[in-house]
Every structure is written in structure tokens, then in C-alpha cells.
Amino acid sequence: MGTDGTDGTGLATEVRVLRRDEWDIWYDTLVRAFGGVPEPAEERELFRSLTECDRSIGVWDGDACVGTAGAFGFRLSVPGGAVVPVAGVTMVGVAPTHRRRGVLTAMMRRQLDDVRSWGEPLAVLTASEPAIYGRFGYGAATVQVNAEIDTGRVRLSVPAGTDGVALRYADPAAVLDVCEAVYARLVPERAGMLERRPGWERLGLLDPESRRDGASPLQCVVASRDGEVTGYARFRVRPRWGPGGPDGEVVLQDLDAVDAVTRAALWRFLFDIDLTSRVTARGRPADEAWLYQVSDPRRCAPRLRDTLFARLVDVGAALSARTYQAPVDVVFEVEDAFCPWNAGRWRLSGDAKGASCTPTSDPADLALSVRELGAAYLGGVSLAALGAAGRVREVRRGALAPASVGFASTVAPWLPHGF
């Protein structure tokens, strides 16, 4: 699509900020872009209330909406524990009648210019297909583990003290506040988490029957130590009976805990539910303790999947907002064709206490594109590994290893839920 608003076919289109009264037609365009299956009413209503219209854009061909994109105003935890304002890019869709004519490119252009003007140093997203967003400077920064655990065969060894954790069933909505307090304590401890914004706590309670696929309504177990709530799990049980007897499945949705014994107690509980022989867990952290407590990881079928993509919109502000576990002093030569204000040389000096990153005319140590900086930003993807892949070039010999150590995180970054 040209800057004059005409696409390759000569159709006039307009990219503009979404008005609240246009939301239904805009959202229907998005739903159709994903295949056209209507969402359950409560899900649609939740996303209606969460849509930040003034941060969302639509592309219009006459009175037909042909493109959608939103940008939630989130705060994301980064290595060192700070939470940084980010644009949570979401609800991206282009009408099948208008694809491959640059509508997405026009929306990404407008959106990244907007994010820059809002002073947010990063944009983040989860991609329907990973091949879409690299060209716009996004790099895959976190992975999640999906697993199907054969709990009929796999045993869990728990640390001493696990028996001291008390568990009780509770109505998920009735205990939401204490669960949210647990979640809030975890945010600064792990990069990649989203500080809860008003309304988002309702996402974890969504429970439309059409999404259960034969499983129970959402159940919640709350864990306490010495009377204080220290964790919770939300899950469903899908009973099944085979020729050999009970063969049910536990489908885990959320599990958060502030300490190791609470986490172990909750996992052990899920493993031990009678009449079930499998726990299905999606979207778990790549370094979660249960992976090292099971007797047979192969029978847990763990699979890694890319989750959060990060895009540095302001290289200097983004790299200064996090800390570095070992001292770094490095000059990056950054390539950024889509956001040229980032292109050029930047000196990053930092350690575990803080960092600064400013433009420089000093010679470069490492050359890379903004996409690699996005991938490495949260500490989960190693700069050295990207170097081995030919995606980071060592201009000054010996510069890559110390930078890679500094960028790494001891705790794997993790996005707890989609958006």
C-alpha cells in the first residue's frame, strides 16, 4: 500500500485510529481473518472491554474494514526486575480479499511510529505464524514448554517441606484477589511477565462451556503455608474411561507459586488426582522445577515453542532499562531498515546495578540487526548462539563472549499468558 493510501490495485484505503462505535465491525474483520468461527460471548465481551481503541487502528476500504491491529498498554518485566512500558501488539488481521497488498505493512508502519511517539521503548507480541514479524524487526525472545505427562508412569520427587503446604479447593472467582497477589510477587522475579493491568485478571477466569471440550468447569486449588496463601493452580479435569478402566486427564491452565515447596505441592497434587493418568500443561516456563523432579522426562513429552517476540522501538531506552548479570561494555552496529532512527552505533555500558546505552562514533564490536537485539533482550536467547547462527557478527575479536554472558538471565524469561 502506498503512502497515499492506495494499494497496488488502485483501491483507496484509509488507516486510522479505531472509534469505539466501530468496534463490532472491526472485531468481526479480525474474527474472519482467523477463519470466522465466532468466539463465545463472554470472551468477545472481555476483549471488547480490554480493547484500547485510542491505541488501535483499522484499515478501511470505503465503509468496509479490511485491516485491524491493536496495541495494549502493558508493563513488562525485564532482567533486573524493572517493569517497562511496552506496546502489546495484538488483534492483527487483514481481510482475505485484501491480503498481500501491503495492508499489514502499512499498519506496522503506523503502529511503530505511534509506539515511538508514546515513548514506549519496546513492542511485543505473540505471533500466529513466526514467519510474519521478523521483517518488522521482531525477534523471538521467549519459549514455553508444552507437555503431556504420563502420570501413570512418571513419579515426582518433591523437596523437603512440601508436606507442610496446605491445599484447599476454592471458587476461582472468590479467591481471585489472593491469587493475583501471588502473581504480582512473581512479576519482578522473572523477565517476560506482564504486570497485571485492570481487567486482565478476568482472563484467567474465562470458562465458556464451548471451550471445555468435555472437561469440567474451571477448578482452583489454593496453597498456603502458615496461614498465608503462597500459590494456586487453575485446571480442569476431563474424565475418560477406557477398556482398562479410568484414563482421565488433568488440563492445567495456571500454576503460580512464590516458593519451591508450594510449587512442588501443587504439581504433586495434579499428578495424583485419582482416575486420571495424564497431565496436559501448556505454556510453562522452560526452566520450571517439575522438569527436574520427574522420574522420566521423556514420558512428559516436553516440547518448546516460541512465545513472546520483542521489538526494540528505542534501542537506547530499551537497553538502558534492563540490567546485565556481568559487566558489559560493548559497541553495537545496529541495522534497522524499518525503524531507521535505531540504525547506527550504540555503546552499551552496564552491570547488575544499571546500564546506559547511547549513540557513539566509536568503532563497533558487534554487528547485528534490531531483530537479534529483540531476541536476546530478555536474556533467554544467547548472543553467542545467534553469533554461531551467523546472525551476530563479531567485529572486534573476543567481543561476543562477554556480551553474551552479560545479556543472559539465570531465570528463563516467560510470558504467562497470551494477549
133 is catalytic: yes
Contact status, residue 40 vs residue 210, Cβ threshold 8 Å: yes
Among 37, 131, 160, 389, binds ligand ACO (CB under 6 A): 131
* 128 belongs to an annotated ligand binding site: yes
**Which secondary structure element, helix H or strand E, spans residue 333, and what is its range?**
strand 328-335
Asked if 367 contacts 332 with a C-beta cutoff of 8 angstroms, the reply is: yes
Residue placing its CB nearer to ligand ACO in the complex, 200 or 269: 200
Q: Exposure of 298 by Cβ count < 10 A (0-12 exposed, 13-18 middle, 19+ buried)? A: exposed
Give the closest residue to 3 by CA, choosing from 92, 97, 109, 93.
109
Q: Which is nearer to ligand ACO, 172 or 374 (CB)?
A: 374
Q: Is 125 in the site for ligand ACO (CB under 6 A)?
A: yes
- From 4, 21, 63, 129, residue interacting with ligand ACO (rule: CB under 6 A): 129
Site size toward ligand ACO, by CB under 6 A: 22
Q: Is 234 annotated as contributing to ligand binding?
A: no
Coil, strand, or helix at residue 315? helix
- Taking the C-alpha atoms of residue 271 and residue 280, their distance in angstroms, rounded to an integer, is 10
Residue 129 annotated as part of some ligand binding site: yes
Please state the φ and ψ torsions of residue 313, each to the nearest 5 degrees.
-90, -30
Least distance (Å) between residue 44 CB and ligand ACO: 16
The Cβ-side half-sphere exposure at 63, using a 13 Å CA radius, reads 1
With respect to ligand ACO, which residue has the nearer C-beta, 25 or 132? Answer: 132
Please identify, using beta-carbon distances, which residue of 104 and 223 lies nearer to ligand ACO. Answer: 104
213 binds ligand ACO (CB under 6 A): no
- Residue 111's DSSP bridge partners are none
Is residue 59 within the footprint of ligand ACO (CB under 6 A)? no
Q: Where are the alpha helices (DSSP H) in 291-342?
A: 315-321
**Per-residue contact track with ligand ACO, 61 to 100, x per CB under 6 A?**
----------------------------xxxxxx----xx
Nearest to 309 by CA among 117, 144, 93: 144
93 annotated to a ligand binding site: yes
User: Binding residue per annotation — 81?
Assistant: no
Looking at the Cβ atoms of 95 and 370, the one nearer to ligand ACO is 95
- For residue 34, state whether it binds ligand ACO (rule: CB under 6 A): yes
Task: Please select the residue that binds ligand ACO; options are 9, 128, 356, 358, rule is CB under 6 A.
Answer: 128
Name beta bridge partners: 304.
145
CB 59 → ligand ACO: shortest distance, Å?
A: 9
Q: Are the C-beta atoms of 331 and 362 separated by less than 8 Å?
A: yes
Smallest distance, ligand ACO to C-beta of residue 48, A: 17
Classify strands 328-335 and 228-238 as parallel, antiparallel or unpaired: unpaired
Which residue in 72, 74, 133, 332 is the catalytic one? 133
Question: Quick one: which H or E segment has residue 27?
Answer: helix 23-33
201 assigned binding-site residue: no
Of 27, 47, 407, 419, which one is the catalytic site residue? 419
- Pinpoint the alpha helices (H) of 229-382: 260-271, 315-321, 370-376
Distance of CA 25 to the CA centre of its chain: 27
Q: How far is the CB of 24 from ligand ACO (least distance, A)?
A: 18
Query: Given the rule CB under 6 A, which residues bind ligand ACO?
Result: 33-34, 89-94, 99-105, 125, 127-129, 131-132, 135
Annotated binding site for acetyl-CoA: 92-94, 100-105, 128-129
Annotated binding site: 92-94, 100-105, 128-129
Which residues are designated catalytic? 133, 419
